[in-house]
Structure formats: structure tokens, C-alpha cells
């Protein structure tokens, strides 16, 4: 299996086609990164805000809706399971029962929806439900 960094990242960096930014980098008005380490050291979520609406592309913070019920369940690729659990739990609690649209990268289609409280746990409601 090829090393992803040498295969996919380094050539882009060497070609001058990418730049490194801080983990809390603001890309533009209403678009910024927020640190979300745990899965990997530099993992971030992308926050989007426009006309009073909010969305978060949560990337590797969650890999499956079951993690809403069991945030301590990490994927086998998580480098720091304790940190990924803490980040995931905080993310879930912060966005539960809000109008923030969640855009997970790894959920099965349809992916976008909202985190909702279900007693002492959390669930997920897809936007087309």
C-alpha cells in the first residue's frame, strides 16, 4: 500500500499548488476551519455560514450514524481514540437540536441532516425526512 503523503500530498506541495494554513484558518467571510484532532493530528471541520444559515462539513469526526449513540466508538483509522471521542462528543453536543446542517463525509447517502436529542443519546435526521 503506498504511503498517502508521498503519493498524494508531497507532489502537490512540491508543485506549489497548495499552501499550509492554521487549523482555525478563515478562508473567507462565513467560511472557516475549526480544529478537530483525534482521527488524525491535523483534522479540521469546515464551518459555513450564509444568510443566517449554518452548516458544518465534519469530515472524519464521525464515520457512521451509530457514533451518535456511541461517540466512544472510533474508526480503526483514528490515531488518538480518546481525543477523537472527546472531539466527537463535543461536536455532537454543540450541534444537537440546532438548525446547523451537518454534512458528514462518510455517512451513506443521503448524508446531510441534523443531530437530534433522543433521551440521553443522540440521533440523526436526514434533510429529506
pTM, full prediction: 0.88
Tell me which residue range forms the domain holding 94: 20-126
Structural domain count, the chain: 1
| Domain-embedded: residue 13 | no
pLDDT at 2: 61
pLDDT in tens, 36-58: 999 988 899 999 999 999 999 99
Q: Is residue 12 part of a domain?
A: no
In a domain, 29, yes or no: yes
Q: Specify the long-range contacts of residues 47-56, CB closer than 8 Å, at least 24 apart.
A: 53/99, 53/101, 54/98, 54/99, 54/100, 54/101, 55/100, 55/101, 55/102, 55/103, 55/112, 56/91, 56/95, 56/100, 56/101, 56/102, 56/103
Query: In this structure, is residue 7 part of a structural domain?
Result: no
Q: Would you say residue 129 has pLDDT above 80?
A: no
Q: Is the peptide bond before 33 cis (omega within 30 degrees of 0)?
A: no
Residue 90 sits in a domain whose CATH number is 3.60.15.10
Specify whether the CB–CB gap between 96 and 40 falls below 8 A. Answer: no
Model confidence pLDDT, tens digit, residues 77-122: 899 999 999 999 999 999 999 999 999 999 988 899 999 999 989 9
Using CA atoms, how far apart are residues 108 and 71, in angstroms rounded to an integer? 18
Is the residue at 11 inside a domain?
A: no
Residue 34 CB neighbours (<10 A):
14
Amino acid at each position: 500500500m503506498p504511503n498517502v503523503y508521498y503519493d498524494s500530498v508531497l507532489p502537490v506541495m512540491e508543485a506549489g499548488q497548495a499552501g499550509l494554513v492554521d487549523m482555525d484558518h478563515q478562508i473567507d467571510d462565513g467560511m472557516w476551519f475549526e480544529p478537530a484532532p483525534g482521527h488524525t493530528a491535523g483534522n479540521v471541520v469546515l464551518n459555513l455560514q450564509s444568510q443566517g444559515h449554518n452548516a458544518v462539513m465534519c469530515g472524519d469526526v464521525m464515520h457512521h450514524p451509530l457514533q451518535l449513540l456511541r461517540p466512544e466508538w472510533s474508526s480503526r483509522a483514528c490515531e488518538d481514540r480518546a481525543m477523537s471521542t472527546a472531539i466527537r462528543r463535543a461536536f455532537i453536543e454543540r450541534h444537537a437540536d440546532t438548525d446547523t446542517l451537518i454534512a458528514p463525509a462518510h455517512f451513506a447517502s443521503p448524508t446531510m441532516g441534523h443531530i437530534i436529542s433522543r433521551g440521553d443519546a443522540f440521533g440523526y435526521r436526514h434533510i429529506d425526512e
